[in-house]
């Protein structure tokens, strides 16, 4: 079997087992991995369990769990028998979980012990609920048990255009929609992603993003199988105390992240090291010295990540410009990609060493992108996509599907962008987020937020329009302010509040010096709590708009 014939999950699993039977496939950090041959045996046994439980082709089966080896095994068992997997984000609320269970017509659900309590509180939970840790039933009266020696009772025929997964987005615009992806949608994207970054059996992935999100799902679980790579999972959330030891143990060659992760590292670790002493702070302002210092910082950062990292993928949101400048000058092996859940997800991407400031790179091989109604002078317009990775549509939402997919197959991304002369794609922002100024000019809030987030002690921000005024909602890092002014002996909490008021005034002047006259901030408001975010750490704008 060659790669071009891999358009379904059963054929992908067969390919991996034939070519990499004894290679490690999945593991918890620090534990013995299961091999691709082990995975295949467990998938067969789990298919047998689902058959005996009455699950048939086309039935919807939910998956609610943090990342673990059994997550991938469950995913392949469900899809290899022609059933449809419905992954849910572990941080979904009870209401969101109930809505997905009900809307998807779920017949069964795999859930972790930690998240089971959310499910039992739902009055629409399916009768068949399976513990993903050991595949036992959460229903004590069930007579159906998991046996590792079991095999499927019948041959399951799966076609490339069969529905494989329904992914409910937790987006920035509100209502969650069920994105229907086929076997071919996902397998095609994973296969073509290897043209951006080849993967082989010596590669080690360290997974830090939720597998229930299409970004980590396609590129962090399906892609490694094409090359026989191994994926390592954390048993706890990727906090520094958990992540740093894991990096030393795994020494990953490939990681997939979101901008927030590297932006936090830059602001909390890199910049403070340069600003600690007055001499280095002044030297850092000299361009050629800054580049040398950044290169030294890049080498240190690479050692922190285990020393063998060759691909640090960043996607899911726009990367801050200042942070990207550091990554370029430090020669850190970062890569950028652009995509959506509806496109399985990758549409454009670029490998380390080929990146360009603020660009998501060229179009993915086999995909076509065009700029609809491009501006005569700016070249900007809505990005439309066509290719084997475009979804079937939104589950039970034919009218909504018609709004985003044209009769001739173009998917309207809702993102505004343009191509340069080398066909590198640049994203300007979401069309729904664009603020129309008093004279009809387009104001991109993401551009202003990028400037705000570079200001001292700012953790995150959101720019909205209120009564015709541009307002910046800003969350300051209170711990950082306290640490910075710890030498002051007066009551810290009162001081921090006063300092935030001063910073608001400074911030407004700082931003307005750097933007055009249409994008000037008229008001800065302090947010005392962090903004609510999606799985890829994008702020849920609809809550604050």
- Asked whether residue 525 falls in the same domain as residue 440, the answer is yes
The verdict on residue 242 lying in a domain is no
User: The domain containing residue 187 runs over which residues?
Assistant: 3-227
Task: Tell me how far apart the alpha carbons of residues 510 and 522 are, in angstroms, rounded to a whole number.
Answer: 12
- Asked whether residue 122 falls in the same domain as residue 197, the answer is yes
Residues with Cβ within 8 Å of residue 111, at least 6 apart in sequence: 62, 64, 65, 119, 129, 130, 131, 132, 138
How many other β-carbons are positioned within 10 Å of the β-carbon of residue 51? 17
388 touches 190 (CB < 8 A): no
The verdict on residue 233 lying in a domain is no
Structure confidence at residue 2 (pLDDT): 62
CATH number at residue 324: 3.40.50.12780
- Asked whether residue 411 falls in the same domain as residue 471, the answer is no
- Asked whether residue 348 falls in the same domain as residue 382, the answer is yes
Token pair recorded at residue 105? 């017509």
The verdict on residue 23 lying in a domain is yes
Task: Tell me how far apart the alpha carbons of residues 287 and 90 are, in angstroms, rounded to a whole number.
Answer: 44
**Which parts of 81-193 fold into alpha helices (H)?**
94-104, 113-120, 183-192
- The H-or-E segment that residue 325 falls in is helix 321-330
193 touches 223 (CB < 8 A): yes
- Asked whether residue 443 falls in the same domain as residue 475, the answer is yes
Paired strand residues for 135: none
Structure confidence at residue 456 (pLDDT): 84
- Asked whether residue 175 falls in the same domain as residue 269, the answer is no
The verdict on residue 243 lying in a domain is no
First to last CA, the chain: 51
CATH number at residue 457: 3.30.300.30
The verdict on residue 253 lying in a domain is no
Query: What string of pLDDT tens digits covers the 545 residues of the chain?
Result: 566 679 999 999 999 999 999 999 999 999 999 999 999 999 999 999 999 999 999 999 999 999 999 999 999 999 999 999 999 999 888 888 999 999 999 999 999 999 999 898 888 999 999 999 999 999 756 678 999 999 999 999 999 999 999 999 865 445 679 999 999 999 999 999 999 999 999 999 999 999 999 999 999 999 999 999 999 999 999 999 999 999 999 999 999 999 989 998 998 899 988 888 888 889 998 999 999 999 999 999 999 999 999 999 999 888 999 999 999 999 999 999 999 999 999 999 999 999 999 999 999 999 999 999 999 899 999 999 999 999 999 999 999 999 999 999 999 999 999 999 999 999 998 877 878 776 567 787 888 888 898 888 898 999 988 887 889 999 988 777 777 666 554 555 566 677 788 888 889 999 998 888 778 999 999 988 899 888 777 888 888 87
Paired strand residues for 525: 473
Polymer length of the chain = 545
Identify the domain boundary among 204, 227, 250.
Answer: 227
What does pTM read for this prediction? 0.86
| Three-class DSSP labels, 48-103 | HHHHHCCCCCCCEEEEECCCCHHHHHHHHHHHHCCCEEEEECCCCCHHHHHHHHHH
The verdict on residue 301 lying in a domain is yes
- Asked whether residue 150 falls in the same domain as residue 290, the answer is no
Whether the CA torsion 133, 134, 137, 141 is positive or negative: it is: negative
- The H-or-E segment that residue 501 falls in is helix 492-512
Token pair recorded at residue 43? 């998938």
- Asked whether residue 498 falls in the same domain as residue 384, the answer is no
pLDDT tens digits for range 374-412: 998 999 999 999 999 999 999 999 999 999 999 999 999
Instruction: List strands edge to edge, sheet with 368-372.
Output: 368-372, 381-386, 411-419, 425-430
Task: Tell me how far apart the alpha carbons of residues 104 and 7 are, in angstroms, rounded to a whole number.
Answer: 24
443 touches 436 (CB < 8 A): yes
The verdict on residue 286 lying in a domain is yes
The verdict on residue 236 lying in a domain is no
245 touches 252 (CB < 8 A): no
- Asked whether residue 484 falls in the same domain as residue 531, the answer is yes
- Asked whether residue 267 falls in the same domain as residue 345, the answer is yes
**Which parts of 193-319 fold into alpha helices (H)?**
214-217, 223-227, 240-250, 259-265, 271-275, 278-283, 287-304
Whole-number Cα distances in Å, 317 to 15, 159, 215, 369: 33, 33, 11, 19
Identify the domain boundary among 395, 430, 465.
Answer: 430
- Asked whether residue 482 falls in the same domain as residue 530, the answer is yes
Helices (H), strands (E): how many in the chain?
19, 24
Whether the CA torsion 218, 87, 181, 74 is positive or negative: it is: positive
The count of domains in the chain is: 3
- Asked whether residue 401 falls in the same domain as residue 322, the answer is yes
Task: Tell me how far apart the alpha carbons of residues 129 and 55 are, in angstroms, rounded to a whole number.
Answer: 12
Residues with Cβ within 8 Å of residue 248, at least 6 apart in sequence: 306
Token pair recorded at residue 377? 């002078």
Ramachandran category for residue 361: left, alpha or beta (phi over 0 → left; psi -120 to 50 → alpha) = left
Identify the domain boundary among 430, 454, 476.
Answer: 430
């Amino acid at each position: 079997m060659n790669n071009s014939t891999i358009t379904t999950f059963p054929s992908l699993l067969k390919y991996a087992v034939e070519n990499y039977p004894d290679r490690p496939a999945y593991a918890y950090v620090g534990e013995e991995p299961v091999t691709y041959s082990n995975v295949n045996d467990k998938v067969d046994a789990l298919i047998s369990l689902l058959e005996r439980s009455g699950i048939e082709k086309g039935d919807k089966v939910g998956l609610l769990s943090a990342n673990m080896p059994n997550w991938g095994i469950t995913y392949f068992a469900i899809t290899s028998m022609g059933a449809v997997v419905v992954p849910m984000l572990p941080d979904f609320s009870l209401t969101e979980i109930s809505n997905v269970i009900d809307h998807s017509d779920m017949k069964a659900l795999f859930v972790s012990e930690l998240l089971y309590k959310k499910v039992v509180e739902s009055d629409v939970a399916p009768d068949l609920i399976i513990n993903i840790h050991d595949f036992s039933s959460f229903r004590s009266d069930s007579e159906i048990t998991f046996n590792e020696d079991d095999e499927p009772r019948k041959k399951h025929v799966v076609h490339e255009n069969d529905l494989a997964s329904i992914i409910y987005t937790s987006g920035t615009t509100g209502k969650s929609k069920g994105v229907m992806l086929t076997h071919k949608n996902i397998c095609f994207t994973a296969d073509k992603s290897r043209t951006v970054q080849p993967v082989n059996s010596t590669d080690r992935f360290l997974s830090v993003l939720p597998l229930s999100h299409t970004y980590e799902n396609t590129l962090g679980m399906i892609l490694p199988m094409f090359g026989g790579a191994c994926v390592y999972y954390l048993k706890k959330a990727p906090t520094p105390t958990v992540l740093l030891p894991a990096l030393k143990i795994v020494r990953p060659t490939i990681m997939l992240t979101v901008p927030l992760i590297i932006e936090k590292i830059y602001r909390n670790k890199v910049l403070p090291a340069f600003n600690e002493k007055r001499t280095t702070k002044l030297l850092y302002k000299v361009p050629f010295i800054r580049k040398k210092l950044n290169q030294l910082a890049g080498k240190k950062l690479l050692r922190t990540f285990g020393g063998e990292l060759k691909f640090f993928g960043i996607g899911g949101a726009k990367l801050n410009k200042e942070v990207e400048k550091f990554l370029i000058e430090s020669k850190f092996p970062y890569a950028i990609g652009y995509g959506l859940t509806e496109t399985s997800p990758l549409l454009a991407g670029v490998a380390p060493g080929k990146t360009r400031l603020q660009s998501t790179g060229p179009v993915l091989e086999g995909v076509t992108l065009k700029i609809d109604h491009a501006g005569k002078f700016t070249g900007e317009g809505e990005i439309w996509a066509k290719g084997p990775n475009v979804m079937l549509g939104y589950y039970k939402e034919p009218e909504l599907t018609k709004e985003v997919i044209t009769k001739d197959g173009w998917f309207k991304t809702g993102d505004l962008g343009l191509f340069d002369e080398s066909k590198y794609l640049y994203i300007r922002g979401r069309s729904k987020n664009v603020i129309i100024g008093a004279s009809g000019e387009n104001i991109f809030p993401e551009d202003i937020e990028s400037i705000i987030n570079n200001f001292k002690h700012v953790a995150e921000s959101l720019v909205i329009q209120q009564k015709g005024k541009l307002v910046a909602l800003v969350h300051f890092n209170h711990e950082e302010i306290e640490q910075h002014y710890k030498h002051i002996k007066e009551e810290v909490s009162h001081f921090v509040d006063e300092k935030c008021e001063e910073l608001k005034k400074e911030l407004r002047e700082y931003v307005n010096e750097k933007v055009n006259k249409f994008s000037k901030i008229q008001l800065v408001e302090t947010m005392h709590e962090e903004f609510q975010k999606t799985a890829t750490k994008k702020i849920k704008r609809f809550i604050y708009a």
